[in-house]
Amino acid sequence: MKMHSGAAALIALVALVGCKDKDTESIPSTTDTADTVLDDTADTDDTDDTADGPDEPCEVSLVETSPLYGNSSWYYRDALEITFDDAAGKLAGIVVSDGSGADVPLSLSWDDSGFNASVTAAAGAWSGSTDYVLTVDICDVSTEVVFSTTAYGDELADDATSLIGSAYYIDMSQATYTEPAGVGALLALYLSEPLLLGITDATSSSLDMIASQGYIHPTSGAVLQDTDFATWDFGQADFTSSPFFAASGETIFEYNGIEIPVYNFSIEGTFSADGSTIGGASFRGLGDTRNMGPLLQLGNDPGVTCLLLEKYGLSCEECPDGETYCLTLAGDFEDAERLDDVTLEVIEGGGK
């Protein structure tokens, strides 16, 4: 089973290699501490308020958190997102404690409106396989959100060299595309064949990575490398935050002798402790569409692919040379499973 040329062209835009399930339980009932009267005696005489006026009432409320209460599958590198119904930057108290009750040092940022806060661990990531409690205090109302992280983030059980030779199955049909908005259904028409990610070398600080087209065997159902297509070299990935890896750079994919440049691509993800899966994988790249017309059987006009995309409400953007033929694609993949008995072969050129 081979990937048709249109699929190959759009894979070139993706630039590769996924996994964040959200629970849907609602925020629990909150505790209004304002109901507890500590001392009313000062309120019997308002003379102190005549100069500056009475205190303004606090009326800001918590609207939503991500994760929601009870989420048990939070990815350890994701920021917590908190939304209020008004500017809350000077009013909100935000604390995260771990399963032992110890407060976690935090890094907190607000958007320009002051309505939305983003919370990360000061260390750069939460711990894997850990229970947490997010506490938000606003206008005397305290809300607790209990959540826990998945096992991604746990240290590798073996040395990084144990990853050498591993091949991981990226299910392109199940990718969630975040850019451009609404493009997922369109891309799913083309990106239905497997994409394989291989590790050719590994140290405690870097990984050498390649990728290959794959196919599903028609009788056994096994996912295998398609050696009719050249492999793609993604160079060295940063592995200093093991088990998390991140690769970035520029590359050129070649299909049927046609070069498809992909600029500023990035790939990242996290290995499970036993190396059997990659989770939290995401991708981003700026693909040059001007050579893709023949691959999509649309002719040789460099702008024909952009014209096709316009029919779906998408617009091409500037490439590094200033010409408007590029398209940014970004998204996430579901967990990628390691394939048993499959090691990617480096293929120069290709038979297609």
| Residue 219 tokens, joined | 């009788």
Question: Which tens digits make up the pLDDT trace of 195-214?
Answer: 899 999 999 999 999 988 88
Q: In the numeric block, which tokens belong to residue 71?
A: 């989420």
CA angle 337, 343, 348 (to 5 degrees): 120
Q: First CA to last CA across the chain, in angstroms?
A: 13
Give the pTM.
0.76
Residue pair 322/295 in contact by the 8 Å Cβ criterion? no
Output the pLDDT for position 185: 63
Q: Which residues of the chain have pLDDT under 50?
A: 1-26, 29-53, 351-352
pLDDT of residue 11: 38
In angstroms, what is the C-alpha Rg of the chain? 25
Condensed to tens digits (0 to 9), the pLDDT of residues 41-65 reads 334 444 444 444 456 788 999 999 9
> Where in the chain are the domains?
5-20+156-338, 59-148
Q: How far apart are CA 277 and CA 18, in angstroms?
A: 10
Provide the pLDDT for residue 261: 82
Q: Which CATH class is domain 59-148?
A: mainly beta
What is the structure's pLDDT at 289?
87
pLDDT, residue 314, reads 84
Distance CA 89, CA 307 (A): 45
Residue 330 has a pLDDT of 86
Tokens of 238: 């940063």
Structure tokens at 306: 């952009």
Maximum distance among all Cα pairs of the chain, rounded to whole angstroms: 90
